[in-house]
Structure 1
Amino acid sequence: MKLNRNISWLINSLALCLVMSCGPLMAQTINLKQAVLLVSPSVPSPMRETAPRILSEEIEKRTGVLLKTTSTWPKSGITRVALVLASDKTLQGASVPANTATERPELKPEGYRIVSETNATGTTLWVIGADSRGILFGTGWVLRNLKMDRKILELSSPVNVATSPDYPIRGHQLGYRHTANSYDAWTVGQFEQYIRDLAIFGTNAIEGIPFHEDEKPSPHFKIPAADMRVKVSEICKAYDLDYWVWTPATIELTDAKKRQAELDQHEAFYKACPRLDHIFFPGGDPGENHPKDVMPFLKDIHTLLVKYHPKAKVWISLQGFNVEQVNYFYDYLAQNNPSWLQGVVYGPGSPPLAETRYRLPKQYQLRQYPDITHTVRCEFPVEHWDQAYALTLGREASNPRPYFYARAQAAAAPFTDGFVSYSDGCHDDINKVMWSMRAWNMQMSVHQILNEYSRFFFGWPLTESAANGIEALEKNWDGPLAQNGGVEATFSFWKTLETANPTLATNWRWQLLLLRAYYDTYTRRRLLYEQGLETKADAVLSQERNTDPDKAMSQALAIVNKADTEPIAPELKAKIVSLCDDLYSSIGLQTSMPKHKARGYERGCLLDFVDYPLNNRWWMADEFEKVRALKTNEEKQKRLQQISAWETPGQGSFYDDVSSVSKGPRVKTISDDATDIAWWNNGFSRTRLSSQTFQRSPVLDYENLDPKAEYVIRVVGFGEALLRVDGKRLSPIVYNREADTVKEWIVPMSATQDGRINVTFDEPEESHLNWRQNSRISDIWLLKK
């Protein structure tokens, strides 16, 4: 038995060695360096011309090999790439491979099958599409899976893939307007390339933004906006993509003259467009018209639309509608059953998605309008985002969030027929690809999508490594930045990739990812350094305030201002500046108002905030001016004590910055947008950092309290603070409603007898106020007397 086991072990070991040594030799590939393209005459134009052009141009860029299209079946030994419809039986006398499987996705709309066939005459790679788009998306699959560089053009074989999309609507908004942080700087050629890239990853719709943006032309426009709208329509026609337009009414529709002028503007645009499929009218974002005026207007729009585009559809969103207006809309549908309306668009500010699908009659479609472009003050704020990022990267940084958006899409998609995303620039490129690919196949893994993204845009040797690097960048944003040592590891990883791949230096997607790696690391190093300086300054204030308050303040300011006079990691900042300039040159990304003429500081101007203070030196400087104006040393000393002990109230006492992921350990709630930087003074607020983040009704749990001690709760914020301890409303002893002022309550000793309390706040009724005027709470202390 022992001998038999040894023989068995030897045989298995030899077999393993054979596999390991001969595996690469046994791997089968299709070499396409000498391949020719054939296209079935049944493939309709313009796809008959577009698909082979996409395939040959994208391959030539990466390999230098130009695949030629031929109309005759080549002689034996030459590899063929054949584009045919599923209805074709033969091509140039060669039989199209039959699919004997029970499920045949290539027969469904937009579906395709990719199959390799080798016989005595050579190898054929068949791209079999259900229709024109099936040919397009099948071509995209080939490009995403090819191994391409200057020495290699091959595809692993055998191939037999058949697939069709899970959702029929997969689109992205590309608004040629000054509000965008990059699109407004693009040429027609750049738009075509970007639309092509999206189509390769399964996108079938592009949405433009006409009309009301024309009054604010961008200094970056290469051609007038009206001309670009028509050019994008032409591109969509060539690629057989749906062309949507987002067309709000910012006028009062009850004004007959303005209403007619709006209709005339619509008709002129419809007439000029070679392709137009859908009109999306946002109900109340922007616009304030009642649906009783909107619905007849949309009916008139549809009448004009079908004159030039007979199959085009009209959509509406209920964004911004109040309860009465929403009810009116559904009553209108029940009474009129409008056939001219295709469906409803769900976006930020709409009634709940499940409710919308439930109330919407089944004959109408429901399309999602997800905001995949912003990080704060938005539909999908970054969860647990550190304030240091929110203050510097802002709303429109390079923001790959593949795993988060895969979850968000999975939660919403079953209620919908698909999506067209809201986007204001190329910085969310990976998010676009993620949404498109997952809408095609909800079971496709995030990592596989990132692999295909990396292989196609960065080259096959980086398939895994770049995908891993993108995933690491998403983790950079998870939780307290100071505690996230993975940021440095991610930076080292990307630095290694950067050094090893100098040819990618001009690739704008590569530049975006490098910018994030450098920016995240620079921000973390600044955070640790600058907050360390503040800790030292607070110690000086605490030690010296009673001796010489004015000297103590001068010394403290000199310490915190070393962030400016002796900055950390200047080489990282120099690289950030360089990458921002590179991105402006390569893709028109405007990361600065003064340097790149961005529309506004909130529109991706991360370069302008790269050194925004991550300690409270601006606030301290302003407070010290107030302290110096106090009449007595005793008053100065008392205020300096409050400043120096702000976050360290002493043994037995507790402090929480209620919206900080690192400085609010007792806070149990996370607001819908917990790092909602209030954006005062165009992002250059000099207020204390904690006051720039807030919640309206936080919940805190305190434990290990002294049953014999008396406690006071102190709150800093704005407006009302309706406090309860263990469910009982307390009356305040100090109550100031002005911004950054103090409120205080005495905690009943009966509440602390068990060594713990729960603190909650009732939310005041302020629905009539703009969110900036809502009450807010930023800092909470439980002070032991």
Structure 2
Amino acid sequence: MLKLLLCLLLVPFTNACSKKDSDILKFSKATLLISTTLEEQFRSTSKTILFEELHKRNGPKLEMGKNWENGTIIGLALQDDPDLFGEPLPEVQDMETMPAEAYRLVHIQKNGKDILWVIGADVRGILYGLGKLLRTAQIGNGQLQIARDTDFSESPKYAIRGHQFGYRNTANSWDSWTVEQFDQHFREQVLFGANSFENIPFQDPNSSVHFKVHPQKMEVELSKICNKYQADYWAWTPAPRDLTEKDAHKEGLAQQEAFYARCPRLDGVFVPGGDPGDNHPSDLMPYLQDLSEILKKHHPKAGIWVSLQGFEEEKAEYFFNYLEEHDPDWLTGLVYGPSSPPIALERQLLPKKYKHRFYPDITHTVRCHYPAANWDQAFALTLGREPCNPQPRHYAKLFNEDTQHTDGFITYSDGSHDDVNKVVWSQLGWNPNIDLNKTITEYCRFFFGSEVAETAAEGIFALEKNWEGPLSDNPTVQKTLALWQGLETGNPGLRDNWRWQQLIMRAYYDAYIQDRSAYEKKLESEAYEIFKAAPEMGAEKAMEKALAHMQKADNEPISQHLKNKVFEYAEALFHSVGAQTSVEKYNASGSERGAILDFIDHPLNNRWWLEDEFKKISLLKTEDEKLKRLEFLRTYEDPGSGSFYDNISSADAKHVTSKTDDAIDYLWENNGLSRKRLSTQLFQFSPTLAYYGLDPNSEYIIRVSGYGEALLRANGELLKPSKYEKGFEQFKEFPLPKELITDGKLNITFDKPDEDHLNWRQQSRITDVWILKQ
């Protein structure tokens, strides 16, 4: 099969600008000719797409035609068509038949006519060709402009390229959508190269106050939309949680069949092996076999897929032995999702007759499959798990690491906030080596217009840089805000565009958090200076004065103009796309579900923790005890000359050489309003640290805080503790033998305790490490 690459150059408008005017095809009206070999439904769909999308962008006027009498022609045809209303399709030297979903976009001039051909290997190919045209041409002022030497062909690398759109209350926007909104959104995803959409049926109609359509009706409407755009319709449908319960197997099948019967189109059913559910494959596989028979009755070409999420070794071994022994033809493929066995191992063990689909999480920032790397804690505490998160470079890297082991992907998404990421993944599914700058520029050209495309693309990449490394010394944040403020001021016509709204809101939010973080950390530092005077003024007076000083964060807040803009855009997003950025104000389903307004003023210093510590200190019996405790709090992160301290998962940790297992994860408790010390809310399970310049003639103690066990090794040697407390904000201490640091170097590692039987939330973790010179 021919791999059609960028064998012939398509010059998008960004390059066409540098060409001579005579090298650019410009037209303000054209005749659209569509091959009669296409089904009438698709002829109508392709016509509607082109007419409506050009109209939205103030493009040229089109007229339907059946002959070649008029001047400029846009011709839509299949590669196997012998001609289009008597005109032969353009030939390409030495080109083989295009593979499935491929397209060719080419301009030719013949007999004084300009002809812009969109030729598809199949009907999907025509849609993808239209998408490329709409993404790369300059459209506006009643015209369409594209380079005259345009001749571009492309076929996808991966056969499955899709996204999950669960119409359910936990999605932070989709539960408020209408059928028309889903129709437009699916169209846009297809025009950027997607071919699959996965719904989550069986939702309680009373589970969301935002539902405008009954979930069972929407299940069918989404199926119809997929059929309209020739996209595969998938369903994520867990098995009953315990198939060993009486009638669970039978009732699960009955519920599924009712759904299958309702849908006019269904191509794939994905049943997760876990998350949710804890069924053994000895119970799950017979259920899936019965499910496949029901599915084939209603949708003969649809396939059953399963994942091994949460499978320990015995379950995974049973599953692959089952495949080897039974060789089931009713199973289409295996889905790799979070908490599955390693993706490369799955592909290696999976017989070649079965397909392998990826289920990557592109929607979350923490406690997730792909956490935001080196994320500052200030963002983790405020933006949380589902903010607007455009990260094209981050996801391109991850895509190429993992997707290579699969036949494609349907991403896990839970809202409109990851819109940029969806487009990036769809385009990577066509070509893993795409130029990300061109892809993001196409995104901005399509949704925002040619005039702002390049600057807005720069702004998206800048938003990604906002999240890289310590927030305190990140100069990008204020530059990013200035860039988006300029776009905001200069383009009032885009103020109702939801994609525009959420990107600008992120710029304001990031800048506000940076200002607050610097301000509140300064207040805390100044409070510790007050502690120094505690012996003179008394412990109680010092605590009262320090607390009043830190409470200026609430009583004398800064940068309120930035905060007000965030709330302004949050309101606009609720009306434009149903984004639920607050539990109380917009009825978000939970604090982790995009409720960024509810945490925008979450403390970014330790004032809550210190308030609680002050209450404990006040209960101490003597002044001396109170002063000693205050001094301990003052020097918690500043142990003095010759000693070292690291907040393990802080973006500015100086000696930590490992990366956190789960972003800058933090202890999620009390719906995100934990009062524990900020460093206690960050952790790694098995961190590594490196130190240089220790004094080989001095005594040192290694102090560790965290939770549970800490099996510490110093330069490879397991140390014995002199103190071993296991609770939060308690301490373990390990004397460091001098003979281990004769060269002044120290590497610290931690053996992993035998805790695989525990949920990760109950497993041991490390939060703080000190090297204390005695």
**Which TM-score band applies after superposition, normalised by the shorter structure?**
over 0.9
Q: Does 1:384 align with 2:374?
A: yes
Local SS of the residue matching 2:452 = helix
2:326 — aligned with what?
A: 336
Q: Give unmatched runs, 5+ long, in structure 2.
A: 1-14
2:436 — aligned with what?
A: 446
Q: Does 1:513 align with 2:503?
A: yes
2:691 — aligned with what?
A: 702
Determine the C-alpha separation between the residues in 2 that align with 1:97 and 1:523. Answer: 56
Determine the C-alpha separation between the residues in 2 that align with 1:649 and 1:573. Answer: 36
Aligned amino acid, residue 55 of structure 2: E
| 2:711–2:753 Cα contact (<8 Å) kept | yes
Q: Does 1:729 align with 2:733?
A: no
1:191 — aligned with what?
A: 182
C-alpha deviation, 1:486, in angstroms: 1.3
Q: Does 1:309 align with 2:299?
A: yes
Determine the C-alpha separation between the residues in 1 that align with 2:535 and 2:592. Answer: 39
2:54 — aligned with what?
A: 59
Aligned amino acid, residue 28 of structure 2: K
TM-score by length of 2: 0.96
1:605 — aligned with what?
A: 595
Aligned amino acid, residue 85 of structure 2: Q
Aligned amino acid, residue 125 of structure 1: L
| 1:674–1:693 Cα contact (<8 Å) kept | no
Match of 1:681 among 659, 670, 673: 670
Q: Give unmatched runs, 5+ long, in structure 1.
A: 1-19
Local SS of the residue matching 1:118 = strand
Deviations 1:394-436 (A, max 9, x none): 1111101111111111112221111000000010111100010
Local SS of the residue matching 2:57 = helix
2:359 — aligned with what?
A: 369
Larger CA deviation: 275-284 vs 766-775:
766-775
Local SS of the residue matching 1:63 = coil
Determine the C-alpha separation between the residues in 1 that align with 2:322 and 2:40. Answer: 41
1:244 — aligned with what?
A: 234
Local SS of the residue matching 1:35 = strand
C-alpha deviation, 1:745, in angstroms: 2.1
Match of 2:730 among 723, 741, 744: 741
Match of 2:24 among 29, 34, 50: 29
Determine the C-alpha separation between the residues in 1 that align with 2:200 and 2:535. Answer: 59
| 2:269–2:303 Cα contact (<8 Å) kept | yes
2:123 — aligned with what?
A: 132
1:44 — aligned with what?
A: 39
| 1:704–1:755 Cα contact (<8 Å) kept | yes
C-alpha deviation, 1:215, in angstroms: 6.9
| 2:30–2:60 Cα contact (<8 Å) kept | no
2:160 — aligned with what?
A: 169
Match of 2:83 among 76, 90, 112: 90
| 1:716–1:742 Cα contact (<8 Å) kept | yes
| 1:165–1:439 Cα contact (<8 Å) kept | yes
C-alpha deviation, 1:748, in angstroms: 2.3
| 1:63–1:153 Cα contact (<8 Å) kept | no
Determine the C-alpha separation between the residues in 2 that align with 1:255 and 1:262. Answer: 11
**1:452–1:174 Cα change, 3 Å:** same
1:260 — aligned with what?
A: 250
Q: Does 1:101 align with 2:94?
A: yes
Match of 1:75 among 59, 65, 69: 69
Larger CA deviation: 389-398 vs 646-655:
646-655
Determine the C-alpha separation between the residues in 2 that align with 1:502 and 1:613. Answer: 34
Deviations 1:302-327 (A, max 9, x none): 11111121111111111111211111
Determine the C-alpha separation between the residues in 2 that align with 1:674 and 1:265. Answer: 38
Aligned amino acid, residue 59 of structure 1: L
Local SS of the residue matching 2:224 = helix
C-alpha deviation, 1:545, in angstroms: 4.2
1:522 — aligned with what?
A: 512
Determine the C-alpha separation between the residues in 1 that align with 2:749 and 2:242. Answer: 44
Match of 1:348 among 338, 350, 361: 338
Determine the C-alpha separation between the residues in 2 that align with 1:732 and 1:232. Answer: 60
Determine the C-alpha separation between the residues in 2 that align with 1:112 and 1:530. Answer: 56
Paired residues for 1:283-294 under 5 Å:
283-294=273-284
Identity %: 49
| 1:246–1:280 Cα contact (<8 Å) kept | yes
Aligned amino acid, residue 56 of structure 2: K
| 1:46–1:239 Cα contact (<8 Å) kept | no
**1:740–1:751 Cα change, 3 Å:** same
Larger CA deviation: 545-554 vs 417-426:
545-554
Paired residues for 1:187-586 under 5 Å:
187-211=178-202, 213-214=203-204, 217-586=207-576
Determine the C-alpha separation between the residues in 2 that align with 1:215 and 1:724. Answer: 55
C-alpha deviation, 1:613, in angstroms: 0.6
CA root-mean-square deviation: 1.6
Matched length: 759
Larger CA deviation: 216-225 vs 602-611:
216-225
Local SS of the residue matching 2:495 = helix
Determine the C-alpha separation between the residues in 2 that align with 1:208 and 1:773. Answer: 32
C-alpha deviation, 1:752, in angstroms: 3.7
**1:287–1:45 Cα change, 3 Å:** farther
C-alpha deviation, 1:116, in angstroms: 1.1
Local SS of the residue matching 1:686 = coil
C-alpha deviation, 1:642, in angstroms: 0.7
1:13 — aligned with what?
A: none
TM-score by length of 1: 0.94
